[in-house]
Amino acid sequence: MNCINEMRLAFTALPENEAFARLAVSGFMLPLDPTMEELADVKTAVSEAVTNAIVHGYARQGGMVRLRAVYDGEGTLQIDVTDRGCGIRDVERARQPFYTTSTDEERSGMGFTVMESFMDRVSVRSAVGQGTSVRLVKRIGPRDEALPRRA
């Protein structure tokens, strides 16, 4: 992916930092002149990915979550949310609606389903004991003037 703008952020895997991640991505997106729907879609997907890292990847025991956003200048926004937590044993099963490994009754098992419904593409890489990386891709635009292209 060509890159005309990039942001990297690392933060402690605390529940209150989920809102921080949403705000950081919103700020990164604003020069792209997204619609309110595009902005809300990306913020929701980022929220789900970060929450999964905190709740499932680190089991609320701490660690670092890394977020990287890249805009290619041609309308594609790519966001990677990465943790070095416990990893996912069966990614395909974890992507099924209502599947959860959490014993917390507040968890619905819909995180990946929500991400997939709001983004154009979602990919997941994971290794047990090494962590998980979720890539979220969304087309933004077309607009007359977003960030300028490189010459």
Residues serving a catalytic function are 48, 52, 107
Q: How far apart are CA 41 and CA 47, in angstroms?
A: 10
From the number of C-beta atoms within 10 Å of its C-beta (0-12, 13-18, 19+), residue 30 rates as exposed
Is residue 114 a contact partner of residue 45, using CB atoms and an 8 Å limit? yes
Tokens of 17: 């930092």
CA distance 20 to 83: 16
Hey, which bits of the chain come out as E strands?
5-12, 64-71, 76-83, 121-127, 131-139
